[in-house]
Amino acid sequence: FTAPQTDLTLTVDLAGEKWLVNRAWRDGPDGLAVELKHPDTGQIRAARWNNDGLVAHAPGEDPRLAIPDGQVVSHRLRKRAVVRSADGASYIKIVRAGKAAGILDGVARAGAFAAGFRMPQILAHTDSTVTFAALEGRSMHVPDLFSPTEWEEAWAEVLGGLQKTWAAGSRGGPVHTADLESEVLRTWVEKALAFVDAPGALLEAAENACAGLAELPEPE
């Protein structure tokens, strides 16, 4: 990997082409599952890195997942992938056999948000896939699609949706407390320690964040 001095972007050279390191997850004690993205086409491909180097798979290839034709928009090697259909009308999430039930459970838990947000319709599912109808509109995962004013308006709509959800009586649903969030943060920090240059600084930053979370008022 090479890190340009102008930003924190990591790149890797594959057959003479530069690919961006889009995301990475710990994969075993000595490796990382890596999601690569082509800077010009936006194409996604999965790879794995350890001390022996980087092994990249062709776009849409995975040794454990059966990935259908379409535009891959997310891919964690051997774990999960999301593919946009050629006509843009649907998205299919692919996981390992028997794991799709967890996705359906999550969708059911998210049902409370329907009072304030548009929710994607489930078109089909198997034991390893769930297919969702596409939602119209721009994704807030791509801030560049918004002007500064539109970005503020979009976040105002998000806050309004949360207020509607709350007013509709979602208080009885599951609560993600500050303690639970701290637990999640510490878990991911532990996984990342072996792969960062300054583990002490990471631990300190995480504990500072957890201290801030602990000061938040408990939900009523």
Residue in 31, 37, 26, 99 with CA at minimum distance from that of residue 64: 99
pLDDT on residue 134: 96
Residue 113 has pLDDT above 70, yes or no: yes
Residue 58 and residue 70: Cα distance in Å, rounded? 14
Residue 151 has pLDDT above 70, yes or no: yes
Q: Which two three-digit tokens encode residue 10?
A: 């990591």
Rounded to whole angstroms, what are the CA distances from 102 to 83, 89, 107, 133, 186? 18, 23, 9, 19, 23
Q: What is the value of pTM for the model shown?
A: 0.82
pLDDT on residue 6: 40
Residue 2 has pLDDT above 50, yes or no: no
Residue in 69, 75, 41 with CA at minimum distance from that of residue 57: 75
Q: What is the mean pLDDT of the chain?
A: 90
Q: How confident is the model at residue 30 (pLDDT cuts 50, 70, 90)?
A: confident
In this prediction, residues 37-51 reach a mean pLDDT of 94
